[in-house]
């Protein structure tokens, strides 16, 4: 083998085809998600680390640069999404390890060349479960977050049987209180987005993606919207990426009216029953005990997710100050104190 790695500032067709079938692929490495990002983010900010053996692609890690205050951070897709890296579907463990041993140094070299101030890669697929595919300490630090997953390998009926009586009552209450569950339309997406904006203001989020981003994801081949209606109004909506291996609940909007009628847990139950996936990923909870308890009450089990935090490669005193400030904010958030 004569393996080689390089950083691309684009996503050529052969890489897109590779990502569509590679081991470790997810919705965030797919073409539909990439096209939605292209509508609102500069093409110059694309990056993709690839490892090849001659003309054959063996591994890839697509991502984007997030630019603020004159600095750039690498994100292997938006923060928190399962990003890879991905490997050739027919590669064995040894070949994956060889590819990973070149991929991570190539990412570090790109960081040095461009002066990135950090970034993150949420590991997924083979890279999440095999430490042999993790980077060395020179790239940055490893930390772990916790997602929650509902295992459906033994079928939906087994999941229902595993629920506590309290969970069953909570799910049943939604229908008894007049909630109807349906597949959502573009009009429903607009209503869900309005609910999301209201929540975002309450949470103090300063940056939210525009409605057109989610509209693009709902186009054929992208995500599915599941909604809960009360008296004809959308009180809850969940945008999910449905695949045979996993359904990932990625974005939602909910009204205060949804809570007393149990619309949100009822919507999750509807997704579990309809998706046909081997598991349903409810995503991260930000280490909030309330959300963790809620998800575990629905039969979800904790899943440790390794995340690579890239070291800063600042090239100016101003950029070094930015990197230090960003690290300080992250540390305070992890400790639960105000940022």
pLDDT tens digits, residue range 125-160? 999 999 999 999 999 999 999 999 999 999 999 999
- List of E strands, 54-118: 56-68, 71-75, 86-87
The CATH topology of domain 3-139+311-335 is Aminopeptidase (3.40.630)
Return the domain boundaries, the chain.
Answer: 3-139+311-335, 148-303
Indicate whether 339 pLDDT > 50: no
Indicate whether 75 pLDDT > 50: yes
pLDDT class of 338 with cuts at 50, 70, 90 = very low
Task: Report d(CA 193, CA 187) in Å as an integer.
Answer: 10
CATH number of 148-303: 3.40.630.30
Q: What is the mean pLDDT of residues 202-219?
A: 88
pLDDT class of 335 with cuts at 50, 70, 90 = low
> Pick the residue with more confidence: 251 or 43?
251
Percent of the chain with pLDDT over 90: 73
Residue 8, judged by CB atoms within 10 A of its CB (0-12, 13-18, 19+), counts as middle
Structure confidence at residue 308 (pLDDT): 95
Q: Among 81-90, 210-219, 287-296, name the one with the lowest average pLDDT.
A: 287-296
Closest CA to 139 of 108, 117, 111: 108
Question: Is the Cβ–Cβ distance between 195 and 205 less than 8 Å?
Answer: no
What's the whole-number average pLDDT of the chain?
91
Max CA distance (Å), the chain: 64
What pLDDT digit, counting tens, does each position of 225-252 carry?
999 999 999 999 999 999 999 999 999 9
> Pick the residue with more confidence: 332 or 24?
24
Structure confidence at residue 332 (pLDDT): 63
Cis upstream peptide for 232 (omega within 30°) = no
Q: What is the mean pLDDT of residues 197-223?
A: 87
> What DSSP state is assigned to residue 84?
B
Indicate whether 13 pLDDT > 90: yes
- 168 token code pair: 């069953």
Structure confidence at residue 334 (pLDDT): 56
Indicate whether 328 pLDDT > 80: no
Give the H or E element holding residue 119. strand 119-122
pLDDT class of 329 with cuts at 50, 70, 90 = low
């Amino acid at each position: 083998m004569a393996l080689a790695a390089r950083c691309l500032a684009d996503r050529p067709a052969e890489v897109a085809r590779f990502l569509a079938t590679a081991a470790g692929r997810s919705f965030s490495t797919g073409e539909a998600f990439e096209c939605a990002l292209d509508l609102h983010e500069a093409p110059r900010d694309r990056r993709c680390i690839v490892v090849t053996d001659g003309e054959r692609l063996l591994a890839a890690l697509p991502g984007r640069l997030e630019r603020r205050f004159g600095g750039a951070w690498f994100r292997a897709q938006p923060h928190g999404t399962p990003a890879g890296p991905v490997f050739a579907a027919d590669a064995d463990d040894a070949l994956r390890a060889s590819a990973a041993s070149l991929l991570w140094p190539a990412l570090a070299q790109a960081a040095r060349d461009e002066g990135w101030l950090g970034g993150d890669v949420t590991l997924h697929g083979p890279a999440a479960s095999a430490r042999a595919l993790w980077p060395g300490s020179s790239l940055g630090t490893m930390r772990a977050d916790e997602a929650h997953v509902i295992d459906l390998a033994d079928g939906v009926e087994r999941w229902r049987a595993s629920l506590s009586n309290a969970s069953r009552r909570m799910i049943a209450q939604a229908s008894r209180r007049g909630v109807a569950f349906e597949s959502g339309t573009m009009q429903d997406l607009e209503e869900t987005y309005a609910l999301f904006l209201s929540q975002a203001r309450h949470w103090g989020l300063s940056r939210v993606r525009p409605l057109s981003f989610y509209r693009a994801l709902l186009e054929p081949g992208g995500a599915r919207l599941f909604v809960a209606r009360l008296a004809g109004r959308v009180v809850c909506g969940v945008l999910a990426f449905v695949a045979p291996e996993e359904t990932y609940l990625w974005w939602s909007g909910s009204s205060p009216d949804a809570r007393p009628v149990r619309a949100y847990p009822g919507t999750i139950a509807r997704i579990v029953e309809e998706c046909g996936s081997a598991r349903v990923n409810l995503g991260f909870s930000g280490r909030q005990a309330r959300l963790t308890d809620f998800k575990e009450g629905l039969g979800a089990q904790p899943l440790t997710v390794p995340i690579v935090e890239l070291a800063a490669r600042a090239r100016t005193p101003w950029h070094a100050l930015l990197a230090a400030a960003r690290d300080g904010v992250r540390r305070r958030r992890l400790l639960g104190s105000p940022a």
